[in-house]
Amino acid sequence: MRYSITQDYISQGNARPGTAIDPVQFIVAHDTGNAGSTAYGNRNYFNNTQPSASAHTFIDDRVILEIIPLTEKAFHVRYNVPVDNSRYGANANDAAIGVELCWGGAINFEEAYNRYVWYHAYLMDRYGFNPREKIVGHSTLDPARRTDPENALNRYGISFQQFIDDVEAMLASEFGEGAREGEETLTRVSPERPVVRGVMTTRPIIQRGASGDFVRDIQRDLIRAGFSLPAFGADGDFGGETERAVLRFQRTYGLQVDGIVGPETLAKLKEVTNTPSRMQEFPLPTGVVRPGTRGDNVRQIQRALSQIGERSGAIDGIYGPQTTSAVRAFQSRFSALARDGIYGPNTKRYLEMELEDM
């Protein structure tokens, strides 16, 4: 199979009540709404803070991570919205699996999206569902308050309809498709199942000398919280630079200042990075944008520069001399950036950090 699934369940509590779903009737597609928030970052937030909200599965560019068993309820849609009841005869929390797409920041969207599509196709195959009938966006169930998953998809030029089309194509190519007597379900042709990896449901205390994906998640959250790692970035190695950033974070938020990421530091880090920020109001383009370019990508850059106090002239979508000067002035704030006036991945990362701090 194309991908494996990791099951790393959170502890039972407010976020995981342990109540059974019987049976699964549909799937709700979500996105996290929080740029740069990774699958394991979300898993550890829900495990450590135990809010009265959750979802079954979080997907980023590295992992398909089930944090609540698919046989149990998760709280991913408000109970007092009527659309789920009218469409499916049941509340989403009682009868649906919630799947979250992680996006933005350092996450490779194409890799995350491919896993997101594949996992929905896997669920269609597992439960014998038709994607057009059994996948619904959170925005459809709670339109007054939610815009996901279109919030993430639309940023990358993908409509919800295109997403469903992609799931159908993935279902046919990966699992085999065949209509069952004209009904809404699909016959499963391929008996193959993805490899499911069970791992520890608790995380050790993380300190200097540790390495791996969990360290990388911590580093990304430190950067998003405004505690930069200019020399090495989110490299997955807990060295001196990361330790110093943790110490600064702990001092700032009144925690025990020991440079160790234990439960209290991790919970505060997730609280800080899951707080809605100005960055979400000023999405930034990916790739390289050079002087002389015109279009919406340039407008996004100009809006963000204006928000942080760099004068780029009119927000006209023209990457002219004023915008070039504003980009160069912003780059001059950071020794790690080349002062070339060209917007690229490194400039984007630091600009996102500035927006996060606002």
Distance CA 100, CA 126 (A): 18
Q: For 235-294, what is each residue's pLDDT tens digit? A: 889 999 999 999 999 988 888 888 888 878 888 888 887 654 444 556 788 899 999 999
Which CATH number belongs to the domain containing residue 101 in this structure? 3.40.80.10
Q: Which residues contact 346 (CB under 8 A, 6 or more apart)?
A: 336, 337, 338
Q: For the CA atoms of the chain, what is the radius of gyration?
A: 22
249 and 346 in a single domain? The answer is: no
| Domain stops at, among 198, 229, 254 | 198
Q: Report yes or no on 190 lying in a domain.
A: yes
How many CB atoms neighbour CB 272 within 10 A? 19
Pairing state between β 96-101 and 26-31: parallel
pLDDT at 340 over 80: yes
Which CATH number belongs to the domain containing residue 247 in this structure? 1.10.101.10
Q: How confident is the model at residue 193 (pLDDT cuts 50, 70, 90)?
A: very low
153 and 223 in a single domain? The answer is: no
pLDDT at 221 (0 to 100)? 86
Distance CA 333, CA 221 (A): 21
85 and 189 in a single domain? The answer is: yes
Residue recorded with tokens 């659309």: 83
| Domain stops at, among 239, 273, 307 | 273
Answer for the pair 113, 44: CB distance below 8 angstroms, yes or no. no
61 and 156 in a single domain? The answer is: yes
Distance CA 173, CA 160 (A): 20
343 and 287 in a single domain? The answer is: yes
Which of 193-202, 224-233, 266-275, 327-336 is predicted least confidently? 193-202
Answer for the pair 112, 48: CB distance below 8 angstroms, yes or no. no
Q: For 15-34, what is each residue's pLDDT tens digit? A: 999 999 979 999 999 999 88
* Residue closest to 93 by CA, chosen among 15, 206, 1, 170: 15
122 and 248 in a single domain? The answer is: no
Q: What does the angle CA 40 – CA 60 – CA 109 come to, to the nearest 5 degrees?
A: 150
Question: Taking residues 35-52, what's their average pLDDT?
Answer: 87
How many CB atoms neighbour CB 316 within 10 A? 14
pLDDT at 103 over 60: yes
| Domain stops at, among 138, 165, 198 | 198
Among residues of the chain, what percentage have pLDDT more than 90? Answer: 47
Q: How confident is the model at residue 168 (pLDDT cuts 50, 70, 90)?
A: very high
The parent domain of residue 244 ranges over 213-273
Question: Among positive and negative, which fits the CA dihedral 277, 283, 286, 288?
Answer: negative
- Number of structural domains in the chain: 3
Q: Report yes or no on 207 lying in a domain.
A: no
Q: What does the angle CA 28 – CA 108 – CA 103 come to, to the nearest 5 degrees?
A: 35
Q: Token pair of 351, please?
A: 């600009």
Q: Report yes or no on 205 lying in a domain.
A: no
Q: Report yes or no on 183 lying in a domain.
A: yes
Q: Report yes or no on 41 lying in a domain.
A: yes
Q: How confident is the model at residue 220 (pLDDT cuts 50, 70, 90)?
A: confident
Q: How confident is the model at residue 323 (pLDDT cuts 50, 70, 90)?
A: very high
**What's the mean per-residue pLDDT of the chain?**
85
Question: Taking residues 106-121, what's their average pLDDT?
Answer: 93
Q: Report yes or no on 203 lying in a domain.
A: no
Q: Token pair of 277, please?
A: 């920020």
pLDDT at 319 over 90: yes
Q: Report yes or no on 68 lying in a domain.
A: yes
pLDDT at 121 over 70: yes
Q: Token pair of 4, please?
A: 């494996």
User: Which secondary-structure segment (H or E) carries 120?
Assistant: helix 109-127
pTM to 2 decimals?
0.58
Answer for the pair 148, 137: CB distance below 8 angstroms, yes or no. yes
